[in-house]
Amino acid sequence: MGKLNVNLCGIELSNPIIPASGTFGYGYEFAELYDINELGTFSFKGTTKDPRFGNPTPRIAECTAGMINAVGLQNPGVEKVITEELPKLKACFHKPVMANVSGFSVEDYAYTCAKLDKEEQVGWLEVNVSCPNVHGGGMSFGTQPEAAAEVTRAVKAVTTKPVIIKLSPNVTDIVSIAKACEDAGADGISLINTLLGMRINLRTRKPVIANKMGGFSGSAIFPVAVRMVYQVANAVKIPVVGMGGVSSAEDVIEMMLAGATAVEVGAANLVNPYICRDIVRDLPEVMAKYRINSLEEIIGGAK
C-alpha cells in the first residue's frame, strides 16, 4: 500500500485529510458515527475571544453544486471552548487538533491564539483573516497584505505552535497576501476560504439569506481553489493546506499536485458525514490507479 503520511509544519499526519472548520464542530458529534482518529486531524469550529450568537436566520441557501452560508462565527467563546469543548474532544480524538481562530481586531486574534496555544490538544493554530477589521473600516484583514501581516506578527509573538494563516479568495492578488504572511512569520498558508455569493427568492424578490450575502462553498468552487493553491504554493516556501470543493480522493490528489501538503474537506461533510472517512479509505486505491507510491512525493508535482 502507498504511503499516506505527510508532515505539516513539523507535525506528522497519518494522512492528509482534514475536515474544515465550521463543518465538523468540535469532533465529538462525528465520533458517534465513526472513529475520527482515522483522520489526519481536523480543524475545529471557528473560535473568537467572546461568545457569538451569529447572524440572524435564515443563514443557509442551496445552490447548484454548492451552498451559501452566513452563520456568522457562532461559538461559545474561547474560555468555554477550553473548559467545555476541548475535554469532550480529547475523550474521542487522540491526535493533535487544529484550532481555528477568528477575530475582529489584532488584539482579539492575539488573545485567543495565546489562550489556545497553551492547550495540550492543539497542534496548529489556523488563523482566519477573512473577518471584518473593526478598527480598519470593516474591510477584511485578509484583503490587504499589510493587515494580514499585522495579524500574523501579533499571533506569532504570543504563540509557540505552528501558525497557519487562512486566506480569503475574495481578493485581486492572493499571492501578495500569502507572501506578506510568510514574511511576517507564518508557518503555513491555508486556502481557500469561501467565495462571496448570493441567492434571491423569485416569489418574495428578496435575498434568501437574512445577511443578503454569504460564503459560497461546495464542488462548484474546486477549480478556483486548485488555481489559487497552485499560485500560492509556487510563490511561498512554507506548507500550503488546500481546500475548496474537495469531495473525493481524486480531488485530494489534484489539490496535492497543485501544491497542497494537506487537504481540508468542508461543505461535503454537511452532505455526507462519512465523506472524510471514505476519502481516507479510498486513497490507497486511487494512489495505486495513478501509480503513486507516496503522497509526499507528489506535493507540487504539477508543473
The answer as to whether 145 is a domain residue is yes
The whole-angstrom separation of Cα 83 and Cα 81 is 6
pLDDT at site 161: 98
Mean pLDDT by 10 residues, the chain (303 residues): 95 98 96 98 97 92 93 94 97 98 95 98 96 67 95 98 97 97 98 95 96 94 98 98 98 98 97 98 98 98 92
The whole-angstrom separation of Cα 11 and Cα 191 is 19
pLDDT at site 154: 98
The helix or strand, by DSSP H or E, that contains position 280, with its residue range, turns out to be: helix 275-289
Among 9, 113, 131, 181, the active-site one is: 131
The whole-angstrom separation of Cα 246 and Cα 265 is 5
**Whether 92 is catalytic:** no
pTM (2 d.p.): 0.96
The residue type found at 37 is N
The answer as to whether 302 is a domain residue is no
What domain range includes position 282? 6-295
pLDDT at site 131: 74
The answer as to whether 303 is a domain residue is no
The answer as to whether 83 is a domain residue is yes
What CATH number is attached to the domain comprising 75?
Answer: 3.20.20.70
As for how many domains the chain has, the answer is 1
pLDDT at site 106: 95
**Is residue 58 exposed (0-12), middle (13-18) or buried (19+ Cβ within 10 Å)?**
middle
The answer as to whether 33 is a domain residue is yes
The answer as to whether 301 is a domain residue is no
pLDDT at site 187: 98
| Torsion angles phi and psi, residue 148, rounded to 5 | -65, -40
The answer as to whether 61 is a domain residue is yes
The whole-angstrom separation of Cα 151 and Cα 126 is 12
The answer as to whether 59 is a domain residue is yes
